[in-house]
Amino acid sequence: MLETFEQAALEAGKAILRVYRSDCAVSLKQDLSPVTIADERAEQIILAHLSKEFPDIPVIAEESVSAGHVPDVRGKSFFLVDPLDGTREFVEHRDEFTVNIAYIKDGIPVTGIVYAPAIGVAFVADDRKAERLVVGKDFEITERLPIRVRERPENLLALASRCNGNARTDDFLAENAVSACTSIGSSLKFCLLAEGKADVYPRFSRTMEWDTAAGDAVLRAAGGTTVMTDGQPLRYGKTDQSHDADFANPSFICWGGKSAAVA
């Protein structure tokens, strides 16, 4: 499965970069989030790979959901796809955008890839193993390096969303001995935790499951945790939510190293 993820993500990333290096038309979806032709082309590529290799596994993909195509995944394993996570970064020509593909089993992300085509790196998870991949200019993988979260230090380094910080995030940082905070876009925050470059990522603003699943798979495989504010693991396949849309996430906190009680 991971080989298919890698092929699909690399091909999608190549298509995204063609658009990134040209004039890019941007439109707004119903929720006023931006979407580009790159999102649409990348999703088509990924869905073609997944349907060919795994025709019986349903796919929840961001642009398809926006178009009203939402298969029933209750009680099933399924894929989550965000063809271009960090569209705002993409539009503003910051290189932090990613391609995200994840496989969900029993509500848990167990296999995934986060590929940052403009940076030339990818992060993958499979069978409780996490790796950082170096991707060459010809879109071939040139190096695979195992990654692991670091032991939690006394003074924590936090990661925060560049576009979605708020007072609750500031309070969390103040209450948890965070000595520094770095802002970065897209699901790369999960991956920086996974490779031991930071310690915690609190998220108290809205995300969708396709935003987080692939990065979460990488973090968990590298020894980290993603928990809700009650300390329970974040789960996937959340439908029929009376308080929010299907597949919307609650607030959560990602930890490198050993899990901790949430302040």
pLDDT of residue 219: 98
Which range of residues forms the domain containing residue 83?
2-146
What's the number of domains the chain is made of? 2
Whether 131 shows a pLDDT value over 80: the answer reads yes
Q: What percent of the chain has pLDDT over 90?
A: 68
Residues 64 and 139 in one domain: yes
Last residue of a domain, one of 146, 174, 199: 146
CATH code of the domain containing 168:
3.40.190.80
In a domain, 260, yes or no: no
Residue 32's pLDDT band (boundaries 50, 70, 90)? very low
Let me know whether 35 and 120 are in one domain: yes
Tokens at 56, concatenated: 């019986």
Given 94, 125, 146, the domain boundary residue is: 146
What's the pLDDT at 180? 81
User: What local confidence, expressed as pLDDT, does residue 164 receive?
Assistant: 56
Q: Are residues 209 and 127 in the same domain?
A: no
- What pLDDT score does 263 carry? 39
Q: Does 63 share its domain with 102? A: yes
Confidence of residue 260 (pLDDT cuts 50, 70, 90): very low
User: pLDDT class for 30, splitting at 50, 70, 90?
Assistant: low
- What confidence tens digit (pLDDT) does each residue in 179-211 have? 788 878 779 999 999 999 999 999 998 899 999
Q: Both 125 and 198 in a single domain?
A: no
Are residues 44 and 19 both part of a single domain? yes
**10 plus 122 within the same structural domain:** yes
Q: Which of 90, 120, 146 is the last residue of a domain?
A: 146
* 172 and 123 together in one domain: no
151 lies in a domain?
no
pTM equals 0.91
**In this predicted model, what pLDDT tens digit does every residue of 1-19 receive, in sequence order?**
999 999 999 999 999 999 8
Position 258 pLDDT exceeds 70? no
